[in-house]
Structure 1
Amino acid sequence: MSYRILDAGDAALTIEFGNIIDPALLAAVNALDAAIQRLQGAGELPGVIETMPTFRSLTVFFDPLATDRDTVLAALQPLIDAAEHGTPVDGRHWRLPVCYEGEAAPDLAEVAATLGICTDEVIALHSGSAYLVYMLGFLPGFPFMGDLPERLRLPRRAQPRVRVPAGSVAIATALTAIYPWESPGGWHLLGRCPIPLFDARRASPSLLAAGDQVRFTPVSSDECRAIEAGLANGEIDPMQWLESTPTPAENAA
């Protein structure tokens, strides 16, 4: 696996492992990120502030008053070389409810017509796959997940929406995602997930993380509203949709 080192101003550098969305590249990014976190936890890598992982690259931010690019890169080089052979992390497994009905699914019929299939088949295809969380971005807690079944792949909408409701479950190209917040957006909206993906009061504010796997379970509009009500009054914990968490030994295997 080849990589490039890119300068990002005078206080950051980016290690780019490739230019496609691929689990092998994500494995390299995650391995490098985890190695950096371990060294920081041991009090090493002085001057390194934080990292920002993506599908295919990792940006490392450092304090130019405490260190410099060459020193950081020299410290990172053996970690980069090892990360190229990183194995995919077995993250947590989630099964999240999605309502594919009515106002929750404004683009479902149009997507089905464009693809030449019925809406039930769209729902079956979308809810029948496990999706890898490649990265969080665009909005706090927004998960970019792949890989969408080939039969469902469409370009983004020609006309983006000014407002996409929070919780909207969407598809575009080879990816699917959930909008944690109301925002503009140009993806096709197939449904709505009532589970909040970001809560600043939690120790880990984002519910999902890169390396997690997500499956969707269709629920009715009534079931969706009942889940929302239970979450609002504290009777339901979002963590109940977590199916499994790997042990440290499993991830180290």
Structure 2
Amino acid sequence: MNLDFQPLGDTAIRVSFGNEISKEINQAIRLFTNGLSQNPIYGVIEWIPTYASLTIFYNPALIAYKEMLNKLIEIKDHIKETNLPSAKIYEIPTYYGGETGPDLAYVAKYNNLTEDEVISIHTGTDYLIYMIGFVPGFPYLGGMSNKIATPRQEKPRTRIPAGSVGIAGEQTGIYPLETPGGWQIIGITPLKLYDQTKERPILLSVGHYLRFVSVSYHEYLEIKKAVENGNYQVKTYKKEEGMDYVFN
């Protein structure tokens, strides 16, 4: 895989891995970020992965562009052939339908399905987290079945509650904060995808997966109470998907 290194102003370098959205490119980005974590570069502030690129921000008063570029190339060369670290699967308990999933019936009707069939399809996939953006903690997911693909709302709502699970086109996602939005809302999770009171405020991580699990309204309320009390442990599982990559 050929990587392209380009300066982004005088405080960042963007590494391009390709020009398409794919699991393979996402995994290559994970490999590179793993290399950054294992080989810290003095002066690096943070890095932000997207669908097909990785932007590394640095302090030019601490490290010059050329030195920074050489360090990144060293990391690339160091991981020419390596196994991808195991990804996690986050379990996302979700209450479907009702007042908190007002568009479930529409999604079912649009796709000539029953509501139970929509739920079964939606919970039957492990969704790859490609990137986090839009608002803090919002996961851009891949892997939703086109059997439940549904257009956005013609008129966006001015208020979507935090935790709402929605569908827009061939994508599904979770609103981490209360915001306006035009996605078809089919359910809600009691988990907090963004909690500014925590040392690590964003729950999910790029390159890992999430799995929606249908729960009853009673279970939803119990989990919500546990989350609010700070004694709910998010369930995670190990996903085996080792792959070999050669970077050029």
Instruction: Give the TM-score normalised by the residue count of structure 2.
Output: 0.86
Deviations 1:137-160 (A, max 9, x none): 222222222210121223443433
> Which of 55, 70, 76 pairs up with 1:74?
70
Indicate if the aligned counterparts of 1:21 and 1:56 stay in contact, CA closer than 8 A.
Answer: yes
User: Closer, same or farther in 2 for the Cα pair 1:48/1:134, shift >3 Å?
Assistant: same
Give the whole-Å Cα distance in 2 for the aligned partners of 1:114 and 1:2.
42
Distance 1:219 1:161 in 2: 25
> Higher relative contact order at CA 8 Å, sep ≥6: structure 1 or structure 2?
2
Q: Does structure 1 conserve the Cα–Cα contact (< 8 Å) formed by 2:163 and 2:177?
A: yes
Q: Does 1:103 align with 2:99?
A: yes
What are the superposed Cα offsets for residues 41-64 of structure 1, whole Å, 9 maximum, x if unpaired? xxxx33222211122211011112
Tell me how far 1:120 sits from its aligned partner: 1.6
- Residue equivalent to 1:163: 159
Kindly indicate whether the alpha-carbon contact (under 8 Å) linking 2:89 and 2:126 is maintained by their aligned counterparts in 1. Answer: no
Shift in CA distance, 203/118, structure 1 to aligned 2, threshold 3 Å: same
Which residue does 2:235 correspond to in 1?
242
Aligned to 2:53: 57
Match of 1:228 among 220, 224, 228: 224
SS at match of 1:195: coil
Q: How does 1:132-211 map to 2 (within 5 A)?
A: 132-211=128-207
Higher fraction of helix: 1
How many angstroms apart in 2 are the aligned matches of 1:110 and 1:135?
A: 28
| SS state at 1:92 partner | strand
Matched, 1:34 2:24: no
Aligned AA for 2:110? T
2:194 partner SS: coil
Secondary structure, counterpart of 1:141 in structure 2:
coil
Match of 2:124 in 1: 128
2 CA distance for matches of 1:162 and 1:4? 40
Partners of 1:184 and 1:85 in 2: CA distance: 44
Unaligned ranges ≥5, structure 1: none
Return 5+ residue gaps in structure 2 as ranges: none
Bigger drift between 185-194 and 170-179 goes to 170-179
Residue 131 of structure 2 aligns with an amino acid whose one-letter code is M
The question of 1:217 aligning with 2:213 is answered: yes
Count of residues in Structure 1 that have an aligned counterpart in Structure 2: 244
Letter in 1 for 2:198: R
Identity %: 36
RMSD value, Cα: 2.6
What code does the residue aligned with 2:22 have? D
- AA in 2 matched with 1:121: E
Moved runs in structure 1, 4+ residues, more than 4 A?
Answer: 81-88, 250-253
Deviations 1:80-111 (A, max 9, x none): 35667665442222222111121111221222
Compute the TM-score of the two structures, normalised by the length of structure 1. Answer: 0.85
1:16 aligns with 2:12: no
C-alpha displacement of 1:26: 1.0
For residues 113 and 252 of structure 1, the distance between their equivalents in structure 2, rounded to whole angstroms, comes to 40
1:177 partner SS? strand
**Separation in 2, partners of 1:180, 1:83:** 34
TM-fit CA distance, 1:190: 1.2
The 1:163/1:64 distance shift into structure 2, 3 A limit, reads: same
Shift of 1:12: 0.8
Distance 2:169 2:79 in 1: 28
Contact 2:97 2:103 in 1 (8 A): no
